[in-house]
Chains A and B, each alone.
Chain A
Amino acid sequence: QQQVKQSPQSLIVQKGGIPIINCAYENTAFDYFPWYQQFPGKGPALLIAIRPDVSEKKEGRFTISFNKSAKQFSLHIMDSQPGDSATYFCAASKTGAGGYNKLIFGAGTRLAVHP
């Protein structure tokens, strides 16, 4: 059972466009939703994260929108640049015994930003 579903699988935009990547989750116990960026040959790196007590969070050109009732969240990249071309993963975790961040990842979205 896929606990975090991510779409689309791939996305192509022109420089300056606003790619949007969507994720849906099933477990209502999830309470932390990060987005990771991964370049080829590298490990994922945290981009931005949100808790369900807010509906939107913005850091630089990256914005997370969160809809708790729909159990969905999305990543928007403003004024996208060719250097943003990478694979993006949404993830989720829940507070639990031991207090560690056991992340459940989506399948990833490969983004290409053309000049």
Chain B
Amino acid sequence: GAGVSQSPRYKVAKRGQDVALRCDPISGHVSLFWYQQALGQGPEFLTYFQNEAQLDKSGLPSDRFFAERPEGSVSTLKIQRTQQEDSAVYLCASSPWTGANTDTQYFGPGTRLTVL
């Protein structure tokens, strides 16, 4: 079956440009997560959606980062005025929701963002 898909797979932006990264979760998955993975590091939590509600945005590094999931399915992570330190792979994951913290997250392949 279809897994989590992300687009674009690669994005090159000039410093100061705005970018939008898209995530298509597995159909029916209530939970959606965004992570940032710097080169050679583990993923770091950015934000969490339960359906269309953004319940946790504690990991967003600055107010230049904004995420939405208006209809509870597709999600977009937007970065305004990109900086070089924003260069990373942005991973999206979705999972069913059972109310426990053990729900398996299914990750997409990521979007590699390079800011010049």
Q: Within the assembled complex, what's the spacing in Å between the Cα atoms of A24 and B28? A: 35
Q: Using a Cβ cutoff of 8 Å, how many contacts connect chains A and B?
A: 74
| Across-interface contacts of B4 in A (CB, < 8 A) | 43
Q: Is A43 touching B107 in the complex (CB atoms < 8 A)?
A: yes
The verdict on B62 contacting chain A, using a C-beta distance below 8 Å, is no
Q: Within the assembled complex, what's the spacing in Å between the Cα atoms of A98 and B93? A: 17
The verdict on A32 contacting chain B, using a C-beta distance below 8 Å, is yes
**Which chain B residues (87-112) contact chain A, with CB distance < 8 Å?**
91, 93, 95, 97-110
Interface SS of chain A: loop
Interface size of B by Cβ–Cβ distance < 8 Å?
Answer: 30
Q: Is B44 touching A43 in the complex (CB atoms < 8 A)?
A: no
| Across-interface contacts of A41 in B (CB, < 8 A) | 109
**Smallest Cβ distance from A29 to chain B, in angstroms?**
11
Q: Is A100 touching B93 in the complex (CB atoms < 8 A)?
A: no
Interface size of A by Cβ–Cβ distance < 8 Å?
Answer: 28
| Across-interface contacts of B55 in A (CB, < 8 A) | 98, 100
Q: Within the assembled complex, what's the spacing in Å between the Cα atoms of A94 and B55? A: 16
Our pick among B41, B100, B102, B109 for the contact of A43 (Cβ within 8 Å) is: B109
Q: A94-B101, A99-B98 are in contact. List 6 more A-B contacts (CB 8 A).
A: A32-B101, A44-B107, A98-B50, A98-B55, A102-B48, A105-B42
* Interchain residue pairs with CB less than 8 A apart (10): A43-B91, A43-B107, A43-B110, A99-B101, A100-B48, A102-B45, A103-B33, A103-B45, A105-B43, A107-B40
